[in-house]
Amino acid sequence: METKDLLGRLRQFDAYPKTLEDFRVKTYGGAVVTIVSGILMLILFLSELNYYLSKEVQPELFVDTSRGQKLKINIDIIFPRMPCGYLSIDAMDVSGEQQIDVDHNLFKKRLDLDGNPIDDRLHKEGLGDKSKQFVEAVKKDLDPDRCESCYGAETVDKKCCNTCEEVREAYRKKGWAFNNPDGIEQCDREGWSDKMMSQKNEGCQVMGYLQVNKVAGNFHFAPGKSFQQHHVHVHDLQAFAGQKFNITHKINHLSFGKDYPGIVNPLDGLNVKATEVQMMYQYFVKVVPTTYVKTTGQTLYTNQFSVTKHSKVVSHSSGESGLPGVFFMYELSPMMVKYTEKQRSFMHFLTGVCAIVGGIFTVAGLVDSMVYHSARAIQQKIDLGKAS
């Protein structure tokens, strides 16, 4: 009697009941478990498939031993309150190489105050007889061997100033202010003040790229004409005496090489509104050389970067020295990151799929039998209660 009872209890632990009756009975509970486990199986299978189809990217880190490459800096920045005529772009590096007022691969596009591009042709018409064609025509009539006055700013090696630009240059070398170009014949002839005035309420978009040596350096966007004086880089702001600049800027794109899949350019889309005039923005950039090897074997040499920024108001009253503008200081990391793209293993995918199908099937079987047996036990209890 007692041993039979014990055996009966032990039988309750059978996870696989195999009576004929059980085999044939189809229950609602079983149907629900089947549907739920089927959906679960599909979802898990799809996620496994998605994982299999994605590429595996393995990063490696080592010391950068590549040499002599150039660094290509892609730039697209908008200055909504800074006229193109005022803005100069310079690049310098620690090797001493300088690119002053670069414009060979960088283009300035004039924008109106709403940020729409200004059509140059329309603008020339508006300028009337002060148009470029006119200036060219005037130049043609002039004697190419002429020697015009520098208005007192002549030096030993430069006695003639034949253009407004040259007068400006001569003034600057003397350290004189160039506030009033009106009395200067060369400038009147070229419509210099008109040119500056007409651009006063404009913005500027700078687009293109810079090619620099792969050493630390900096490049900047600042108002004024830049030049080299006693090995110091100086910006001449005298032409804009007293004028304050709003250095609001929007960085559409800044990168140090080609894009690879998954690259993050931390400055893209950055919109900086200058709360005060005469702001100086400094971006300290750490460039990390990066190699990306695709599954096809194609290798991409590029760079990623991290950046920290700093801004301050430049005014002589507060004693802060500096120049209004946007400055980028970049440094190169000695470590190189190499990403290798790899196809995921098909065997792993197969194993995963088997595990999903088998695992869900087993667990669903357990759940189903548990549901079925507990339902039956309850039913029996109820029947017993009714009988007594």
List of residues contacting ligand NAG (CB under 6 A): 80-81, 246, 248, 273-277
What 8-state DSSP symbol labels residue 295?
T
Residue number with CB closer to ligand NAG (279 or 332): 279
Of 85 and 191, nearer to ligand NAG (C-beta) is 85
Nearer to ligand NAG, 83 or 289 (CB): 83
At closest approach, how far in Å is the CB of 197 from ligand NAG? 20
Q: How far apart are CA 65 and CA 77, in angstroms?
A: 32
Closest approach of Cβ 243 to ligand NAG, in Å? 13
Shortest Å, Cβ 255 to ligand NAG: 24
Q: Exposed/middle/buried for 163, CB within 10 Å: 0-12, 13-18, 19+?
A: middle
- Residue placing its CB nearer to ligand NAG in the complex, 30 or 322: 322
C-beta of 313: minimal distance to ligand NAG in Å? 10
Instruction: Find out whether 216 and 94 touch, Cβ atoms under 8 Å.
Output: yes
Smallest gap from Cβ 278 to ligand NAG, in A, equals: 9
Backbone angles phi, psi at 351, to 5 degrees: -60, -45
DSSP letters spanning 103-140: -SSEEEEEE-TTSPBPPHHHHHHHHGGGSHHHHHHHHH
Q: Please give the C-alpha separations between residue 43 and each of 14, 37, 47, 82, in angstroms, as whole numbers.
A: 30, 10, 6, 55
d(CA 149, CA 159): 8
Closer of 180 and 275 to ligand NAG (Cβ): 275
- Distance between CA atoms of residues 361 and 41, nearest Å: 9
Nearer Cβ to ligand NAG, position 153 or 279?
A: 279
Chain centroid to Cα 183, Å, comes to 47
Q: Which residues pair with 62 in a beta bridge?
A: 336
Count other Cβ atoms within 10 Å, centred on residue 57. 14
- Residue 76 CB, nearest distance to ligand NAG (Å)? 17
Helices (H), the chain: 2-11, 20-24, 28-53, 120-127, 132-141, 164-174, 185-190, 192-198, 346-387
Cβ proximity to ligand NAG: between 17 and 269 the closer is: 269
Least Cβ distance, residue 251 to ligand NAG (angstroms): 14
Give me the residue whose beta carbon is nearest to ligand NAG: 246
Q: Which C-beta is closer to ligand NAG: that of 88 or that of 248?
A: 248
CB of 109 to ligand NAG, least distance (A): 16
